Amino acid sequence: MNIKNCAIYTRVSTDNQAEKEFSSCEAQEQKIRSFIASQNDWQVFKIYNDAGFSGAILERPALQELLSDLKKEKIDVVLVYKIDRLTRSPKDFYQLVEFFEQAKIDFISITERFDTSTPAGRLLRNIMLTFSQFERELTSERTKDKMLERAKKGLANGGLTPYGYIRQDKKLIPHPKEAEEIKSIFETYIESDSTAKTYQMLKDRGVKNKLGKNFSKTNISHILRNVIYIGKVLHNGEIYQGIHEPIISEEIFALAQKIHKEKQKKIRVYKNFLFGGLIKCEECGSNMTSCFTNKYIAGKLNRYYYYRCTATMKQDWQACSVKQVSAERLEDFCLENLERISVDKNYIENLVFRLNNDNQAPHRAGYELTDGCSKFSTENLSDTLKFFLTGLKTTKGIERNLFAKRFLSNIFYSPESIKIRFISCQSDGEAVAKRSPAPPMAGLGERTLSSSKSEFVSSFLAPNSRYELFNIFSSA
């Protein structure tokens, strides 16, 4: 027997009605109870009564309690005496019916034959929801039209008021102090040809944005390209003459745009970084992103590639002591040492012995090796390394980077050490190519064979079925 839990919702509009005609709520309840009794295997779950609340709003205690209970899947059917007891707003009614539909709750108005548990009721519900969707789309179109009309009239649309202005009577008015800072931003950028130096100028002077925070380089770039500061408004890619007072002259603004375009036009040399997306800063935990700098030597452009700690980009150069490392130097260092150890039989044997026989370290460190990874062999580790290195030699560009990501989870860099975390300990190249999962492990641990400079050090780190096989100590 499938019992259906029924929620009864009743409402009267005002406090006076609640006091003088409280029986009307009771009458609603009794009518609904009689209807429930006439159905097979239906039972009253709970009564929700909003006495003295308008049907024009949804912020009613009992209604909100009902909606909360519906989310807990305690109720199968919601019943009202009339639809206007639930709400008098067509828009709110559409939203509530849509909510009932998503929650798979039937809705019944016992006096109006509105019953979503029947085919006819579901048809009517779907028609109403279609009209609701039409109304939402129509409202969206009207909003877009209003925003376009505002732009054509020279009025800035809503959102956070641009730095440098305040709003008075829905119009932008220059803020005396902030407007001067906007002028300083443009002047510094034009003089220095650098958003970084402009950022530093604002930071040194303690200038904050409208949220009370330091400006970021992204904020500055947005300001430098925002036509609002020359008395114009931008809407949907089109520029319109604004009615607000400009802060920057069009000549100054045009000069800033020219500098920006010239910087964008500089010769671009595309490079696929071998370890792009894999490097993490050991010092602060931030990602290290691939970047480059240009230097002219004897009239010739030279490009230098780096992995740079993103903390120094999001904040400033002093945010992290690691800063950056030469991409070529780091990549060559890792590959040379991986090549060396892949043919170093004594080292591999020593590493395998420690991994297979040091049974105390895992327990002290709080982790255990599962059966699938409890035994390592010299051939396993050596062949995996050789397969990995061969793959890097036979692939180019983005394919080379993608191949590296099949084997490596992360590379942690600091000036003192470089840790390479491998994804799988399998030696079968085909299995690796198919991205077979590494044997599951639990916990965290590390074991060290040596700590001398430029030597690989065995370690084991296994969160999320990944392990750290090598730790390169370096002064790179």
45-72 pLDDT, tens digit per residue, is 999 999 888 888 889 999 999 999 998 8
Residues 355 and 418 in one domain: yes
Q: What is the structure's pLDDT at 208?
A: 94
Give the domain CATH number at 93. 3.40.50.1390
Q: Is 466 within a domain?
A: no
Q: Are 462 and 441 in contact (CB under 8 A)?
A: yes
361-388 pLDDT, tens digit per residue, is 443 333 333 343 445 677 777 888 888 8
- Give me the phi and psi of 331, to 5 degrees please: -65, -45
Residues 288 and 258 in one domain: no
**Number of domains present in the structure of the chain:** 3
Alpha-carbon distance of 426 to 301, in angstroms, equals 45
Residues 395 and 326 in one domain: yes
Average pLDDT over residues 342-369: 62
Degrees, nearest 5: CA angle 327-333-382:
130
Q: Which residue range(s) make up the domain with 229? A: 165-263
Most confident of 84-98, 114-128, 329-343: 329-343
Give the domain CATH number at 240. 3.90.1750.20
DSSP-assigned beta bridge partners for residue 305: 292
Q: Is 325 within a domain?
A: yes
Average pLDDT over residues 399-427: 82
- Which of 396, 422, 448 is the endpoint of a domain? 422
Residues 343 and 375 in one domain: yes
Residues 230 and 333 in one domain: no
Q: Is 312 within a domain?
A: yes
293-333 pLDDT, tens digit per residue, is 888 787 777 888 999 999 888 777 888 999 999 999 999 99
Q: Is 110 within a domain?
A: yes
CB atoms inside a 10 Å sphere around CB 227: 17
Both tokens of 292, joined, read 């480059």
Q: Are 196 and 220 in contact (CB under 8 A)?
A: no
Which residue, 106, 45, 114, is CA-closest to 84?
114
Alpha-carbon distance of 262 to 291, in angstroms, equals 19
Q: Is 159 within a domain?
A: no
Q: What is the structure's pLDDT at 368?
A: 37
**Terminal C-alpha separation, the chain:** 74
Q: Is 268 within a domain?
A: no
Residues 178 and 98 in one domain: no
| Mean pLDDT, rounded, of the chain | 79
Question: Is 73 a residue whose pLDDT tops 80?
Answer: no
More confident position, 451 or 260: 260
Residues 360 and 413 in one domain: yes
Residues 71 and 203 in one domain: no
Q: Is 128 within a domain?
A: no
Q: What is the DSSP string of 256-293?
A: HHHHHHHHHHS-------TTTTTEEETTT--BEEEEEE
Is the alpha carbon torsion for 364, 367, 372, 377 positive or negative? negative
Confirm whether pTM is higher than 0.75. no
Question: Is 122 a residue whose pLDDT tops 90?
Answer: no
Quick one: pLDDT band at residue 14, thresholds 50, 70, 90? low
Residues 86 and 180 in one domain: no
Q: Is 84 within a domain?
A: yes
Question: Is 151 a residue whose pLDDT tops 60?
Answer: yes
Q: Are 8 and 33 in contact (CB under 8 A)?
A: yes
